[in-house]
Structure 1
């Protein structure tokens, strides 16, 4: 199996995963007021790094801030 064939087999799985990640990051970032377009576009480019960084830099600080209030 060549690289091109493997890519064509993975494409139908990869596209929905990237779109779903991007949409969910965008919606949640919009709710939290944290650069939704940045997170949405980055979510379209690769997986799972944007989600992990989003959790680390947006979600956890947001939850800490909510607990202090």
Structure 2
């Protein structure tokens, strides 16, 4: 017997929750370490994936900037 929530297996819901919690925790810890708006990034990371992580890397960390 498998448990379904809105037609999805229970393990998919658990996987999504784990991914969102990991993403949010990393955004919070890295944002606090670097002095960015860590509450904003972590709350946004709890409700959506992967856009908060991508936007954080592009706009806050500036990972893709050109090096002199």
TM-score (norm 1): 0.78
Q: Secondary structure at the match of 2:12?
A: helix
TM score, norm. by length of structure 2: 0.79
Identify unmatched segments of 5+ residues in structure 1. Answer: none
Runs of 4+ in 1 over 2 A off after TM superposition: none
Structure 2, unmatched stretches of 5+, are none
Q: 1:26 to 1:16 in 2, by over 3 A?
A: same
Please say which of residues 39-48 and 3-12 is displaced more in the overlay: 3-12
Task: Identify the range of structure 1 (35-44 vs 8-17) with the bigger mean alpha-carbon deviation.
Answer: 8-17
Q: Name the Cα RMSD after superposition.
A: 2.4
Q: Which protein, 1 or 2, shows the higher relative CO under an 8 Å CA cutoff with sep ≥ 6?
A: 1
SS at the partner of 1:60? Answer: coil
Higher helix share: 1
Determine the structure 2 residue equivalent to 1:13. 15
